[in-house]
Structure 1
Amino acid sequence: MVDPSALGARLASSAVAPLVKKLFVKDQPGAALVTKPVRISGLVSFTGEKKDVTPKDVEKIADELVRRALKAAGPGEIPVDAAEAVAVRTALAHSLAALGTLTIEDYEAVALGPEEFARTLRSHSAVTVATFALSRDAELFLDRLLHTASLHILNFFTQRSTYVARQQTQQSQQLAQLVKAVDVLLERLPSQSTEDAAFEARYAAYITARHGTLTIYGLDVYAGTSEWPLDTAYLSLEATRDRAWEGAAQVAAEQVLAQHDHVLLRGVAGSGKTTLVQWLAVTAADLTYRHGLTHLMGRVPFVLPMRRIVRPGTELPVPEQFLTSVGCLVTGEQPAGWVERVLRAGRGVLLVDGIDEISEERRKDAKRWLRDLTRTFPGNLWLVTTRPTAVPERWLDTTDFAELTLSPMAYDDVATFVRRWHRAAGVDESVGTALLRSVRSAPELDRLATNPLMCGMLCALHRDRRGFLPRDRKSVYRAALTMLVERRDVEREVAPGSAFGGRLPFDTQIQLLQKLAWWLIRNSRAEMDRSDAVRILGDAAPSMNIDGSGADVYRWLLLRSGLLREPADGRVDFLHRTFQDYLGARLAVQEMDFDLLVNQAGRTEWEDVILLAVAHARPVEAERMLRRLATDGTARGKLLAAASLRYATEVAPGARQHVEESVRSLIPPRTEYEAYALAEVGGPLVLGLLPGPDEAEGELAYLVPLVAARVGGPPALHFLTLFRDHPDERVQLVLTASWSTFDRELYLREVLAHLSRRPLVPVHGPEDLRALRSIGGWPNIKFVGPYRVEELTELIVPEQLTRLSLDAPHPVEGLAWLSAFPRLTDVDVDTEVDASRARQIPSGVRLNTPAK
């Protein structure tokens, strides 16, 4: 069989070029210069009011490309069967249809080159290759076809009469941007001494070298692969600010200082706060200014990790001590008074990382220090990071700090991280694709993949076990602990040296860590004082035949287990709360603290501990817990008992029946009210208890997805994808109505694009219309809120629309524009329409108005 990628390249230019040409409007004579960018979406022939090609024709063009490529193959060389050929054609059509959504110019597209342009089309496609479950050969065939088409598309752009003119315009714009950058630099770079300028260049080089690489979590399991260049490893996440009078506002995390001079950024452990600090430091130090972020141009970054600059018995550093306090290697070359001159000129970017990593007593000193510095040296940019609960809300409000929170990784962020991780590790892309499928299909794993730390852990575990990832949480945690605690040092040939000689056995380490975890859980703490940890470990050491003090054992676990951290001086916590819950539940079972566990059933933070305790318990113990949970009288307890059945290794038939009968009044729901109530009390826990699409019939068919939609979040979205092909019209109605509950782009790609019936879908603005257009349009649209006629006629695909509902807060001013939609049969409006306007309705269209 021929290489599938080579087969896709066999298409002759004479075969491809005419097909590609059909995708674009005819060139106009002359080479008119333009005053504003011309987007590729404005050139395609299957969008806009006057179309030579319809979205359906795009599918025909894709079909013809596939057919001709297969025809070019010789006997026995065809890499795909008939079914996969159809899937390849559909995926190719979706990628080509993305031409209508691209916001870049043809000049920029040519600069990308065919490989990157093909990737851009894939990333803008409404559906992913994974959606079609293509074989590896089919994926290669598709990639080569898209690459070949991209090559001809870019060549077509360069032959258009306006291309050269726009290229000249683009060059002029680049020169204008350069002039603007120079103006900014002149403003921020007052006359400097030669000594200051020379030192800043050396300091910038130091910052780039010091912070220009990342340690990719999980890669450090494999020698020599832990470091990765920051410019390719950095993953842009969202930061959210909740304003009571404006609602939630989102901004790319690296742009927070473009909107606010002073920012307090909160984020959970492993969420990427320190990585963001590194990226901002390196970007500000980049003297080529390729990033185009004018707010960072000409500025000098100071990275100030609180755990390093706050020392017992000493004051926080004054500006001239900034470099010394962090151990900067070029401190000795610093000109006297240089830092003060930079700050007086308002050129500093001060990145204060980890307020939570110092003691509460020193946080008061840090607050006073920040207040004094910001008032003494106004005009500089400040970013202060902390864990969410380390300091109260409005902690720095008196110094005009805006408070934002770093959001968890989005659905697509996880896919991007997994792809980059495997590329950095030198692993085939198909391994990462397989991991993503495993994570998406298991809610327990999906809940873990919320930040770079845990994503890296799952990647490493998946690779370590050669593509096999356990589906139950108990096994996942056990495997991850084995890799972290037992195998990492052995495989990296790390010497075991300790104060008590040798390496602590795996089971001994786990037993010690359990004691710390259970203490934290029982005391409702996320972290503990180091002195408490040392005392607990010291008390346990003699009974485990450890010849060392509690301090010796603590230091070993901190440095070698990979599970403990010191987030601040004198305090300790676990790498991730999930490991703490797993280990604590294990010890709770060993010590038979079952009454304590069951008594906490009403507290959501104990949910995972209880589930994992059932998983660890012996059959008799698990049965006792299940019966008590099922009979405690609360809906939460009954749901926990039902969810725990999946965790128990062995359950007697009588106990199982008792649990199932207790939850029968809750699941399945019988009315919409019960569905909403179930989602409210159960949250994500309930998703694993609901029947699937094959079991949901009658009223239950739409009540089940109604529960999931009300729960929300990534696990609920994955659950709803199981109902995409359900034949009940009410199910499809629930799926379309739930669009606004989830991430809109992701929901469109994973759910809406796959629905067959396509009932009335709520739309809240032009962005939603653009999204629907990217999948070829939608027949039944309900526009909620104010609208502009121009947006409706421009963005709704005319050939698709059959029913339009206008839920607007103002009267309809005219309806003649409805003639733009030839297949329209019904129009619903929420206001009365007078006779003159009613006569504007096109023939054959039924107007539905509110009943009097």
Structure 2
Amino acid sequence: MEPVRLPSSATAPLVAKLFGAQPPTADTDELIAGLVSFRGVSPQCSYGDLDRLAAEFVRLGLAGRELPGTEADEVASVLARTLAIMGELDTTDVLAVRLGPQDYARRLRAEVPGAARELSQESACFHDSLLVAVCLHVLNLLIDRSPGLAERLPERSHRIRQLVDLGDVAAVRRRPAPSPQDAEFEERYLRSIVGKYNRVTIYGIDLPNPNTPDNWPLDATYLSLGAEFDATEDPSPPEPVMPADRALAGQERVLLRGVAGSGKTTLVQWLAVSTARGQLPEELEPLRGRIPFVLPVRRFARDGFPNPDDFLTAVGHPLAAEAPEGWVVRVLAEERALLLIDGIDEAPEGRRDELRDQLRRVLRIYSGNFCLVTARPPAVGAEWLADEGFNELSLVPMTRDQVASFITAWHHAARTDEGKDHRKLDDYREKLVQSIPLYRELRGLATNPLMCGLICALNRDRSGSLPKGRRELYEAAMEMLLQRRDPERRVLYADEVSVQRAPRERLLRKLAYRMLVDQRPVLDEAAAVGEIARHLPAIPALARQGSPEEIFSHLLQRTGLLRAQQDGAVEFVHRTVQDYLAAKEAVERRAFGLLLEHAHEPEWEEVIRMAVAHARPSECAELLEGLIAPGYTGFQRNRRRLLAAACLEHVTELDPETHARIRRETQNMVRPSNIAAARGLGWVGPIVLEMLPDPGTVSDDEAHRLAVTVTRINDDAAVHYLASLRDRSSLPLRAELARGWRNFDTERYADEVIRHLDPEGLYFPVTERVELAVLAKLGGRECVQIAGHFTVDELREGLVRERLTHLWLAYDLGAGGLEWLEAFPKLTTLRVNPRLPRVTGIPEGIRLIS
């Protein structure tokens, strides 16, 4: 028999009558017999009332059940006799909570032996289960009445409250269908999700018409980026990179990591819109019919993870006040929710574990709901949510084909503005597609949608003349948006404010710095206007242009760098823009103490890197020396030193002594002890290559971990290091080297690494057409993994027919069977990723492995 679960909304008032009106107390170790309402000098409840309460408990417990004949009345009679024993035993509230509902119920039953003798077996089992459910609510009332119980027995108290919540969930799930009110609201809510999230900003497209929106349809611009499951110590070959949306297939809980600008939020938007529309790809069919809840962490980072009833209010959803009471809880209880929790890194580091614990409670109570959590890579540790069944995915840098696709989509979207250079857009696009693979600086920057968008915008703005470094890229973007954007578009009278770049940037820097100091990713309008009012008198060029409110409106409407939320809060269009401006202000104020105080916190990493790039030589040395100064231990010490090493990439001038000292301090920190650490080490950048051990002195296991690090460093020097590992026989090492060529110049990597790898048992992955062509030039390979989008004709022509014996399909090739594999006479084995749709039409003689 399924356990009886009683909804607290109906049960709590009945249980309260068993104990009468009792004020809360801090006392514990009170006899329950002295608390019940049907005992004492002047009882508030008679034994007749006890019978009626027992009958109500039976009625609630029988929801959806039936008992033989009139046995429901008999069960109520037995239950009343059993509950009456609470007034006879010498059991204290502490002992009862420590026993828990089952053992406490067992103790009560033991005092009325044979009471259930006349009941049928079915009714007796029902009575026992109902008694446990009632005892659960009795214990919950005792805990609520005496807060000291929760402090004294925290784990027991937490478990009892959790069981009450689970009972409420079970009660909701017994409802046959959503009510008409819920159904009507859900239709409106889903339409609002599509309206809110079906637009994305392609960063930096200049729009000559000020009335033209600065964003574009998600449908036209969405690019499915690559993702990989986090590497493990498992010696088997790693899973291939696959489209991020497809990697989610078969997953119920996912922690998605990605660097700033890598497309995490856009993926969240795509999932929300596609689910709300019911237009999901086949592999994500389990999400069909779910209700998406987009929960940006920045909206509740300070207040904690919201209770389900507060989901809509916490994120400022316009329909929050109109939702039927308890609607979100019902959606969660019915396992119909899609929770999209975006940006754990937006919460202060000290609050993240608390947020995790609050999320954990929701997921344990409302299991069966899909949940995606996003974060920057260093924001939370490995296996941060592993105990809740989360698999970890990481977005990978864009491939050359993806970069080319993004550039094409960007220029296609640009045709919808009213610019006068539309006839040149094809030339701009073609020039950019050809330039990025040729120039290491551009190739290193064009790895995610944010940077690709900036590069496209600046390439157009400068008619093909591009900055090469990260700082220069942002400087050029500020120049374009804050100085030249409106005048060149002849937008001269949009408001009463007319001012050059420098004063506007100064105020934007003040806002970004305020957010940094307060560790808040958003400011409400009053705080933003107040910050402007505080600094406006010191900026005469703006002070005479209008009031703080008018200047705030100007910055919001005319700079393209700020955006307002529906509740009036203001934020920067991207976190990296905020970090760039805050870093510049921190250097201007010489706030190095503040930066160094927080240097070991992941959310300050980008700010400190940018500060080093802005700093003058003496200031740069002060920052870097502060990073490696004594005073920190353990993880904090290691993180600060590695950050110092990472900052060397951004230094324009530094005295040799400081440079050498940083290398000495960090040279022994670049020997990762596990795969997770090896992956994380890649974030430090090219400077790591100068500190790695001699490949000839390390074991195969360490060589594998070093390869995991180096394949994630987009620098020409990395190829030289990886080439020194190519002659080893370790299969995990060879697999890592083979999958690494997507990050480097294809022909050079093929010549220096791929052609030298022992092919025994090794699948060579191909993700792009150029890799397929280069592998064919090498004579093909026996084992090939298809890890990118190809047509059947491209594979039939690109794979070497007389050599292929093992084929691994890790990417969906679309509709149709696999009869075309007959073109490969030596093919004996076909391996198919289990996340792909079922394949058909496999020629006879080819063994299928899935």
Structure 1 length as normaliser, TM-score? Answer: 0.48
Structure 2 length as normaliser, TM-score? Answer: 0.48
**Greater C-alpha Rg:** 2
